[in-house]
Copies of this chain bind each other. A is one copy, B any other.
């Protein structure tokens, strides 16, 4: 039986519940930080030998390959189950179709007076993609990171991923890698792989940005190396907030809540509804459906500790709660869901209507599934093509245009006490 809290919204109890959720965010652990700092320094100095030494230390043995040969990657694709490949190809097509609309434009403003200003946009040169191993080896993650990177014009994607227990590469990951243009694959995991990407080793090329989720050692390594490389956001535990009224289907609500709860005991699945009857029927449905789900234990733990059903009075209140919580995933199961699109300010990805089930977004529809968690949807955005772009501005001025501007520039520079700035303008006239 999943014991999920029922909370009648009163300005206090749900606030208390949200506070409890804040404690889930992985605060940086001093002990882990110390370990990771050492790994980073050792790999920085020792290169591939250091990486391999850590792999042997943590895994007990070295993997089948250090770099997975190109023909092994290609074979994984040709030998894969054709239905799986077809499904992945469809997903890649949808993800590509959506993301290519995000590409930034370079622009130029050539003025009448001969001056030219503009912004030049390019893809990052090289990106590192971390794919966790073990039970969290998700081919869909590969798609969601690699497809926008390639659309941005990233020249080279370097994937790092730990091997399976027997030391061989995860073939589903290789299929995904082959399907979206990953250039090279190295079999390494943990903080040592992140350090290798950030500094480069003899074999692993140095990258400009590292993306992809991982355990606390991986996440800590990314945070510590931010500035040496760019990183995507540091992902917290998964979240879903479902908004439902009396016409919503409790069967669907229950299933969607559990689809997020199954990620992690720390995942948070919340229903916000105007109908107590829907609340009760959803609880019944959860308890009925969970019996046949393989990750029952994780689901029940997540729902008990970090799940809740908030019962409020109006849909407007529900929107306010959603905006305050700023969920990673937000489902709107109200009638006329599109009407609420402008009202909902703070969510990573919004799912509208009874058939936009959140897993549709995880795998298939097109928008990215790498989303801000832990309330950061207030200011962070989904992973996008723009995450892999960099811009330079450029300025060309004629002598006449600078002559016209010089008094203004000199005045402001001198106000700021920056006389050499003023001088650089004055010497030209």
Q: Which residues of A contact B (CB under 8 A)?
A: 25, 83-84, 86-88, 90-91, 97-98, 101-102, 107, 109, 115-117, 119-120, 122, 124-125, 135, 137-140, 172, 208-209, 227, 229-230, 234, 251-252, 255-256, 258-259, 261-263, 289, 292-295, 299, 337-338, 341, 344-368, 374, 376-382, 384, 386, 389-399, 401-402, 405, 407-409, 411-413, 415-425, 427-428
Contact A355 B87 (CB under 8 A): no
A349 to B120, CA, bound (A): 10
Report the minimal beta-carbon distance from A252 to chain B, rounded to whole angstroms: 6
Contact A230 B359 (CB under 8 A): no
Question: Which 7 interchain pairs have the tightest Cβ spacing?
Answer: A367-B393, A87-B408, A262-B420, A359-B421, A255-B424, A381-B391, A352-B396
Contact B294 A362 (CB under 8 A): no
Task: Give every chain B residue within 8 A of A413 (Cβ-Cβ).
Answer: 359, 362-363
A409 to B259, CA, bound (A): 13
Contact B116 A338 (CB under 8 A): yes
Contact A98 B124 (CB under 8 A): no
A394 to B348, CA, bound (A): 9
Contact A360 B230 (CB under 8 A): no
Contact A261 B420 (CB under 8 A): yes
Task: Give every chain B residue within 8 A of A122 (Cβ-Cβ).
Answer: 345
Task: Give every chain B residue within 8 A of A102 (Cβ-Cβ).
Answer: 119
Q: So how many copies of this chain end up in the complex? A: 2
A135 to B419, CA, bound (A): 13
Using CB atoms, name the residue of chain B closest to A296.
B420
In-complex Cβ contact of A117 among B251, B367, B409 (8 A): B367
Report the minimal beta-carbon distance from A373 to chain B, rounded to whole angstroms: 10
In-complex Cβ contact of A289 among B107, B353, B358, B427 (8 A): B427
- Most central of A338, A398, A424 by chain B CB within 10 Å: A424
Contact B360 A397 (CB under 8 A): yes
Report the minimal beta-carbon distance from A198 to chain B, rounded to whole angstroms: 11
A409 to B361, CA, bound (A): 10
Contact A424 B349 (CB under 8 A): no
Using CB atoms, name the residue of chain B closest to A400.
B355
In-complex Cβ contact of A119 among B101, B208, B209 (8 A): B101
Task: Give every chain B residue within 8 A of A409 (Cβ-Cβ).
Answer: 87, 359-360, 363-364
Task: Give every chain B residue within 8 A of A365 (Cβ-Cβ).
Answer: 115, 117, 395, 397, 405
Report the minimal beta-carbon distance from A391 to chain B, rounded to whole angstroms: 4
Contact B396 A258 (CB under 8 A): no
Contact B341 A424 (CB under 8 A): no
A270 to B258, CA, bound (A): 58
Task: Give every chain B residue within 8 A of A382 (Cβ-Cβ).
Answer: 391-393
Report the minimal beta-carbon distance from A279 to chain B, rounded to whole angstroms: 18
Report the minimal beta-carbon distance from A422 to chain B, rounded to whole angstroms: 7
Contact A84 B412 (CB under 8 A): yes
Contacts A/B (CB < 8 Å), 6 sampled: A116-B338, A299-B420, A349-B395, A355-B398, A356-B395, A363-B412
Report the minimal beta-carbon distance from A136 to chain B, rounded to whole angstroms: 9
A138 to B412, CA, bound (A): 9
Using CB atoms, name the residue of chain B closest to A389.
B381
Contact A117 B98 (CB under 8 A): yes
Using CB atoms, name the residue of chain B closest to A345.
B122
